[in-house]
Structures are given as C-alpha cells and as structure tokens.
Structure 1
Amino acid sequence: MKVNLECIVCGRKFPEGQGIKLTVKGEDYYFHSKACAYKFLREALYTIDMDEVSGIFRELKKKYREINEKKKESTKKVI
C-alpha cells in the first residue's frame, strides 16, 4: 500500500520515497520539493540566534574548503 506524505510548507501530498525528509531530534519534517525545504530552512535560520549558529557555520565552511582543496589537488595534471 502506498503511503502519501504531506509537505509541511505547502500541504501538497506526495508518495513516500519522493521529496525531502529532514529528521531533527527524532522528529521528521517532509517537503515535496527542494524549494519548500529551502523556504522552511531559510526561515528557521533567520529565527535562530545567529551567535549560536555562527560557530557551526565557520566549522562547515572550513570543512568544505578543505574538501574542495583536496579535489583540486587530486585533479591537477602531473607532467
């Protein structure tokens, strides 16, 4: 039997296995599209105290910079 989920942003119903599922502290949030997920997460970020989030953002920025640098190093041609 097909399970239909409901997007928490727009209310659109969609089949399980499609869309985006975000789990935070055991609670599931379902979005039918990346646009709805982006809208929800953007509003959540604007609501959160930026002093609490800024450290996490710096860590993630550093992490992805390192990943990108490793990718660049591995794709360099050795002549």
Structure 2
Amino acid sequence: MAGRSTLYQSIFHMVDHALNNYINQGAVRMIHYLLPLFSSLMIIWIAVWGYSLMSGRSEAPLQDGFFRILRVGFILLWG
C-alpha cells in the first residue's frame, strides 16, 4: 500500500511541476508582449498630461502629477 502512495505522490509532483512551468512561461510571454505597449501608452499619457499643464487645461498640481507618474512607473517596472 505504501508503494501506491509514493507513486501517486510522484505523479502529482510531476504534474504540479509541469503546470507551474507552463503557467510561469505563459505569464512571462504575456508580460514581454504587453510591456512595450504599456510603456508607449505611459509615454503618450505623460506627454498629453504635460501639454495640458502647459496650456492651463489641467487642474492637477505639478507635485500630484509627478507622484502619479512615479506610481505608474513603479507598477510598470515591478508589475
């Protein structure tokens, strides 16, 4: 009976290992695919926000916008 439990444990361990590798590789591929898109959108957002600040159309103060840009940058960098 002990032989069956170790057999099942080894099978479940192999399945768990294969599934973890599959999920991790899929997540890495998706991040590498989406990172340039999000980086480009962030640059466009900063440019539009800066233009609205220069033209006086934005009500947000400069310090608030600076910290907002830092938060988004940290999310993109470590997200």
| TM-score normalised per structure 1 | 0.36
- Point out the structure with max Rg over C-alpha: 2
- Higher strand residue share: 1
Q: Which has the higher contact order (CA 8 A, sep 6+)?
A: 2
- Higher helix residue share: 2
